[in-house]
Each structure stands twice: as C-alpha cells, then as structure tokens.
Amino acid sequence: MAQTFDLSVLFKMVDRFSSPLKQAMHSFNKFSEQAKKANSVTRQFGMNVSDMGRKVRGFGAMLSVGVTLPLTLLAKSAIGVARDFDRSMNMVGAVTRTKIGDEIKPAFIELRKEAKRLGASTIFTTQQVADGMQVMGLKGLSVNQIFEVMPKVLELATAAQMDIAESANIVINIMNSQKLSVEELSTVNDVLVSAFTRSSAQLGALGESFKYAGNITRVTGLSIQETAASFAFMAKVGIDASMAGTAMRTAMAKLAAPSKQMIGIMHRLGVKIYQMKDGKRVVKPFIDILKEFERAGADAVSMTELLGLRAGPGFASLLGMSEEIEELIRLMGVDVGIASQIAITQMSGLPKVIAELVAAWEIVRISFMESKFGDWVQSFIKWFTNLLRTIADADPTMKAIAAAVLVFIGVLAPVISLLGLFVMAIGAIVANAAIIGTVVAIGAAFATMAAAVTLLITNLDAIAAWFNSIPEKINGFANAVERMAVSIFDSLTSMIPDFVLKWMGSGEGQSLIDQARVNQLATVTSNNKSSADITIKVTSENGSSATIGGVTKKGDAKVNVINDAYLGMGAAFGGSGF
C-alpha cells in the first residue's frame, strides 16, 4: 500500500524558524519607523542650526558694520584730531615760551583752555584756533596779546570766510607795519572788510599787498584807508596781491626820494608832489598826488618813464580814479563795525549750524582723548611701539609669531561672520540628514548581505554535501524530480541530529524524524518500479531493523538503523547515494 510523504516535520520546522524571522522583521520595521522619525527630527534640527547660523552671521555683520566699524573710525578720528591739536599747541607753547621741555607754565594751560573754549563756542574748530595762536606767537605776540587779538582775528576770518591762521597773519602784518595797537584792530578789520566788499579785491590779496607795501606807505604818509583803497582799485584792473604791493612800494619809495631824472620828468609834466609843512618839505597826501598827475595829463607811458616798468603801470591804473578812491575812503570811515556785521551775515542759517556742529564734534573728540581713554591709548601705543622694537630686534622665529599675531588682530572683527557661515554649513549638513539616513540604510543592507555571505561560508561544507548528494546520473525527468526531493529532504534531515534535536529536544523530535524517514522511504518504494526489495520496520523503542535488497541491518539506536537503511537506498537505484 502506498504511503504519503509526511511534511509535518518540515512545517513545524518552518513554523519554528518563522517566529524569530517575524520578530526580526518586526524589529526592522520598528527600526525603520524610528529612523524616519529621527530623520525628520534631524532635518528640523539641521534647519534650526542653519537658521541659527544665518542669525549669527547677520549678528556678526551687524556688529562689524554697526559697532566695530563706527568705533574704529571714531577712535581713529579722535586720535588724529587730538594729535594735530597737541602738535599745534606744542608749537604755541614753544613760540610763546610757555612750554619748554617738561616745564608747562600756567599760561600754556590757559591758552589750551581758550582754544577749546573758542572751538566749542564758535564756528571754528579747536585745531583752527590753535593754528591761529601759533601764527600770532610766531609774529611775536605775547600770551596777553594773543588773548586780546584773537576775537578780532576770528571776526575777520568769519567775515572773509577764511582760515584763522591766514586771518591772523594778515591782521598782525598790518598791525605791525602800520604801528597799530591792539585796540585799533577793530578799525583794521572794518577797513579791510569795507575794501573787499566794495571792490573785486579778496581779503587774502589785500593782505598780501599790505605785506609788500604797508610799511613804506605808512612812512610816506598814507593812511591805512588810502592804502587799502588804492589796492582795491588796482584789483579792478587785475593788479592785486604781490603785484599791487610791489607797484605801490616802488612808486612811493621813488616819489619819496626822486632822482634827478624823475625831477626833470615831473618838471616837464608840471607836477608838484611836495608841499611845505612845519618848515619842512614833505610829500603831499596820496590823493593830491593822483590829482596832480591827472591834471598834468599823465598816462601809462609817462608814468612808466617816471617810475619804471615795475611801478609805472600799476600807478597809472589809478589815474582817473582819484574821486572814486576818495569816496571809498570816506565810506570806510562810515563803515564802523562793518566787520562784525558781515561776520554775522556770513554765518547765518544752515552754514552756521553746520559749522558749529563740526566744531562741536571736534571738541568732543579732543575731550574724549583728554580722558582716561587718552591715557590708555598713549600707554597702548607706547607698549605697542616697544613691542615692534622688540620684534625688530628678535630672531626670525619671533618675527613670524609677531606677524601671525598681527594677522589675527586684523581679522578679529569679521570672525563672528565667519563663525555664522560655519554654523550654517553644519546646519546644511544636518538638514540633509535624509541623505545620511539613506547612506546608513545602504550600509545596513550591505552589512546584512555580508552577514548572509558569512553564514553561507560558515555552512559551506553542508551546502557542498547537499549539492554532491544530487545523483550524477539522471534517469528521466520524473526520477530526477523524485531524487531531488529526496536529496533536499535528506539534506534537511541530516542536519536534524546536530541542530534540531538541540532546539526541539531529544524525545518528541526524534520520534518525528524516524516516522518521517519511514514514510519517505515507503513513498519512494511504492512509486519506484525497480525490483529492489526494500523493507523498513520499527520494532521497538530500543531497537530497529531495516531490510534493503534482502539485507537486514540492525542497531541499538533507531537513528543509526534508519540512517543506514536510508543511505542504502541509493545502491538500490544503482547510485552511490544521494
């Protein structure tokens, strides 16, 4: 009677293996879900880090532009202004003898205070005031005279829109050449302002003309008004500054002491430039001299013949203007206080506000440097100077270290911005953690494959035995399929004694194996048409026997008997075994 193939053992084995496999798959799925959640968290974290990096970078840029740069510019500006102011005041101290070496007299301290006071209360900066004091000191003014003259110098500078130093140079030159007192400086200012506001002459040009001819005109009897008016009208024809001064000086010097040739020319023209005063022959007033030559019909040719090429043309330019010059002189007498009024006009509205702002800003910077900060800056500069000297005398290694330190200091300001970029880069990497997760997953897959390969290599002998159990000779497709089934089952059952029995236990498992082999052999025998006589009989718990090809084999253990009978089946089919 044909028996069926019992697969119960195989199903139980699959069931036993499937439980751990299901647990492994469940663990893998759980890991996958956790990985997805972790990926989402890391992506959000990366985005947060990137955002933080952008904020840090923006904060660093804001500090660099809004704080570091302004403070650096402020410090640089304050140091530069204080340096220039100290340099000018040191010169003032030197020319006034109020600061010699380490000795500082109280007068120097007062001059410094006055410079800062005027810088804070006028449109001029402390630096400009200090420069004006320097000019006055160089011109020989004492400390008290500087204090007295400065207001008038500032007045003239404001009215003429010029520097204090230039204004001081003009005022003091005129004061000295005309032998005027400090109290007369108001008149000087009014005369000069009246002259340049009523003609095309510039104050600077008038001052230059006075520098050349001021002394000689005073000696020859010209008033400051006559001299200034003459220069103003020379300027109308383009003769100004040093040209006008030189022409006036040469002309008045020659007329004051004429040569015989000059006397002959004036006699020919009918011009008389002298008059008797107090029993002495003196030169007539300048306006009267002009009128004499005008009445005589003198022209540029005759004046050049009389006074020479350098003075003749300039003096000739005044001919025909005596009345206008006389009117200007009269107006100068009327324009009392004109300098002060023009100064107020010049500095009204927005120009005044801006000028005062600039002056106030400078005094703030100077005051800043006169505080403890200034002392710290000086100490730091001294320290740094000594450091540079030390580096200059150091060996090449020390110089390289110093260079590195200087480079570090130079790039310190933008370091926060660079840090922000770095943090943004980290954020970008973390934000793309999905890529990292994919790489990790691929790595895990390769690790799994490597484990599988390792398992195959470890069981290579069993696998080789399984492949070697396939019959070398195949008799037909059906027999090949049958033998393949038997071979597969044989390979599985051959592993049971060493693996399954340890897992399932030696009792129930062994009985299942024996019965499965008996059923297998019976099935193969009933399906095979060979004349081989195959009989398998399990006699008892402790003994068994098998008849294969008429040969009965016995054993003390069921497993050995059945194994021998099973292996002997190969000989019955004409092979060497499965």
Among residues 280, 302, 337, which one ends one of the domains? Answer: 337
DSSP label at residue 238: T
Least confident of 347-361, 401-415, 524-538: 524-538
Helix (H) / strand (E) element for 552: namely strand 551-555
Residue 527 inside a domain? The answer is yes
Residue 116 inside a domain? The answer is no
Kindly give the interhelix angle for 106-121 and 143-160, rounded to the nearest 10 degrees: 20
Residue 247 banded pLDDT, cuts 50, 70, 90: very high
Least confident of 203-207, 257-261, 387-391, 549-553: 549-553
Among residues 295, 312, 337, which one ends one of the domains? Answer: 337
pLDDT of residue 396: 77
Strands in 76-156 per DSSP E: 99-100, 103-104
**Which residues are bridge partners to 277 per DSSP?**
280
CA-CA-CA-CA torsion sign (14, 16, 19, 24): negative
**For residue 491, what are the domain limits?**
459-572
Three-state secondary-structure class, residue 151:
helix
β-strands 551-555, 544-548 pairing:
antiparallel
Q: What share of the chain is helix, strand, coil (3-state, %, to 5)?
A: 75, 5, 20
Contact 127, 369 (CB under 8 A): no
pLDDT tens, position by position, 250-277: 999 999 999 999 999 999 999 999 888 8
Nearest to 203 by CA among 191, 212, 213: 191
Residue 298 inside a domain? The answer is yes
pLDDT tens, position by position, 183-220: 899 999 999 999 999 998 999 999 999 999 999 999 99
**Does the pLDDT value for residue 362 go beyond 80?**
yes
**How many whole angstroms separate alpha carbon 573 and alpha carbon 340?**
142
Nearest to 509 by CA among 3, 13, 6: 13
* Mean predicted confidence (pLDDT) in 309-336: 94
- 458 φ/ψ sector (left φ>0, alpha ψ -120 to 50, else beta): alpha
Both 329 and 185 in a single domain?
A: yes
Tokens of 536: 């398998």
Which pTM was predicted? Answer: 0.57
Residue 482 inside a domain? The answer is yes
pLDDT of residue 78: 84
Return the number of other C-beta atoms located less than 10 Å from residue 278's C-beta: 5
The chain-wide mean pLDDT, for the chain, equals 75
Nearest to 171 by CA among 200, 132, 143: 132
Which residues touch 472 (CB under 8 Å, ≥6 apart)?
A: 575, 576
**How many whole angstroms separate alpha carbon 285 and alpha carbon 269?**
19
Residue 423 banded pLDDT, cuts 50, 70, 90: low
pLDDT of residue 207: 94
Residue 424 inside a domain? The answer is no
Three-state secondary-structure class, residue 230:
helix
Contact 216, 252 (CB under 8 A): yes
pLDDT of residue 551: 44
Nearest to 300 by CA among 308, 239, 243: 308
Highest mean pLDDT among 44-48, 80-84, 532-536: 80-84
pLDDT of residue 19: 59
Residue 104 inside a domain? The answer is no
Highest mean pLDDT among 195-204, 395-404, 472-481: 195-204
Contact 84, 365 (CB under 8 A): no
**Does the pLDDT value for residue 443 go beyond 80?**
no
What amino acid occupies position 565? A
Tokens of 542: 């402790």
Helix (H) / strand (E) element for 547: namely strand 544-548
Among residues 287, 305, 337, which one ends one of the domains? Answer: 337
**Does the pLDDT value for residue 546 go beyond 60?**
no
Both 183 and 325 in a single domain?
A: yes
pLDDT of residue 466: 46
Residue 472 banded pLDDT, cuts 50, 70, 90: very low
Tokens of 217: 């005109």
Residue 447 inside a domain? The answer is no
The more confident residue out of 282 and 116 is: 116
* Mean predicted confidence (pLDDT) in 320-348: 92
In 64-142, alpha helices (H): 69-95, 106-121, 126-138
Least confident of 405-414, 417-426, 482-491: 482-491
What is the full DSSP assignment across 487-518? Answer: HHHHHHHHHIIIIIHHHH-SSHHHHHHHHHHH
Q: How large is the C-alpha radius of gyration of the chain?
A: 61
Phi, psi of 44 (to 5 degrees): -65, -40
Helix (H) / strand (E) element for 397: namely helix 396-410
pLDDT tens, position by position, 346-357: 888 888 888 888
Residue 153 inside a domain? The answer is no
Residue 503 banded pLDDT, cuts 50, 70, 90: very low
pLDDT of residue 43: 67
**How many whole angstroms separate alpha carbon 258 and alpha carbon 266?**
10
Number of domains in the chain: 2
pLDDT of residue 359: 85
Both 183 and 317 in a single domain?
A: yes
Contact 189, 149 (CB under 8 A): no
Which residues touch 9 (CB under 8 Å, ≥6 apart)?
A: 512, 513, 516
